[in-house]
Amino acid sequence: MRIFNNICSSVQESDAFPLNIIVFNVAQCIGNFLEQVRNDPYAQTLGIQLTKLEADFAEAMLDEQNHMINAYGTGHGAVIYALAAMHFLQPVTRTSLGLSTTIQFIESAKPCDKIVARTTEFNETIVQDSTELTFNMGKI
């Protein structure tokens, strides 16, 4: 049984009304969820901006700032992880939680880099997340 909690006024699948027959305003549902994410205090503190949200895809952006740089002059891994952790649940328009995450830091971020996270829903229970580092001149 699939439940959309607190996002789309608790639409619930039942034997009498399969979810694919229940009609509800998807645009309004995504709009409500988008507002929740944009008002997230932690995301606001870091300057994370949700730039795109669809039923199975989301994109967020963060500009690396001087206070996010570690002692080695590179972007702090915790900031990149925070973007991914905040962001990887966004394309699913239902309440969910992370069970495990793995991040491989292939390249380091520099001051003023733009970090873009794009998440695609792999299936109903697994979300696949990839985070790209983007310089002013383009993708690494």
Residuewise pLDDT in 10s, the chain (140 residues): 233 333 444 444 444 444 444 444 556 666 777 777 778 888 889 998 888 877 777 788 888 888 999 999 988 989 888 888 776 655 555 556 667 777 777 778 888 888 888 877 766 666 665 656 565 544 54
Q: What angle do CA 70, 109, 79 make, to 5 degrees?
A: 60
Tokens read off for 107? 């390249």
Query: Using one digit for the tens of pLDDT, what is the confidence trace for 20-55?
Result: 444 445 566 667 777 777 788 888 899 988 888 777
- What is the pTM for the complete model shown? 0.66
Structural domain 26-139, CATH architecture: Roll (3.10)
- Give, for 55, the enclosing helix (H) or strand (E): none
